[in-house]
Amino acid sequence: MPEGPRIAFLKEQLDQFVGQPVVEAQGTAKNIPFPLLPEQTLTEIKTFGKELLLCFPDFALRIHLLFFGKYALNAELNRELQLGLTFESGTINFYACDCRYISEPLEQLYDWTTDVLHPSFDPDKALQKLLRQPKQLICDAILEQSIVAGVGNGIKNEALFRCHLHPASVVGEIPEPILKNLVRACVTFSQEYLSWKQENTPTKNWQVYQRNTCPRDLVPLRKEKLGKTKRSCYFCEKCQELYAASF
């Protein structure tokens, strides 16, 4: 599933179409009123976590690439087209994604202070939300988009490693300063990830995600599907401390 930095990078690629009217709209997405789109001018592009928001004067189109979504800029893929928009200077096509038509003001639907890449991100609010889930495993809590929108499995693994924190740690047992550092690490890594996408070098910078050896201790990493989400966790048992509930 694309994480926040990849969606932010996609926005940068599509900013060239801002100010242009839609020439043609096509696809099979059930929630999109395709006949209404031609001649509508793209006024702005926003992102919220893993969501791309194409803004028009009276509505927005929300695209979520889910787990297997793809997009093609000025090209086509041999897959079922969910949403394709042609502008004066090019085309963007989306596949295997969730597309929605939004008529409400975006400010009423989105809390930008939870987006780790948004200038208004509030780390204190994120920390307080974590503290209100004391029985949850940190590997689940840090993936909740209502807490840190844009964080996905890769960022989760890297941020936990940077904070020397075991993914199976219980939130309520983790010292508050470490939780605060974890929120900060999610933001920092997301910003770095975006810069790596811009440089076309993202995969070279992963330290533990989809890796085999701990770069700190040079011992084999563990890979397990932990928590309610059962998402893959890559971690070092030697340098990532486990804060477990005591009975």
Of 59, 76, 109, the position where a domain reaches its end is 109
Q: Are 222 and 161 contacting, i.e. CB atoms less than 8 angstroms apart? A: no
Given 84, 109, 134, the domain boundary residue is 109
pLDDT at 246: 63
Q: How many domains does the chain have?
A: 2
Question: pTM score > 0.85 for this model?
Answer: yes
Q: Is the pLDDT of residue 210 over 70?
A: yes
Domain that holds residue 193: 112-235
Taking only the tens place, the pLDDT of each residue in 108-118 is 999 999 999 99
Buried b (16+ CB within 10 A) or exposed e, 60-98: bbbbbbeeebebeeeeeeeeebbbbbbbeeebbbbbbbe
Kind and range of the H or E element at 154? helix 153-162
Angle at 96 (CA atoms; ends 199, 29), nearest 5 degrees = 120
The last residue of one of the domains, among 90, 109, 128, is 109
Beta bridge partners of 98: 64
Token readout for 148 is 């840190």
On whether residue 242 sits in a domain, the answer given is no
Q: Is residue 228 part of a domain?
A: yes
Residue 195: which CATH number? 1.10.8.50
Q: At 21, phi and psi to the nearest 5?
A: -80, 155
180 and 223 in a single domain? The answer is: yes
Q: Are residues 208 and 117 in the same domain?
A: yes
- Structural domain includes residue 244: no
pLDDT at site 245:
75
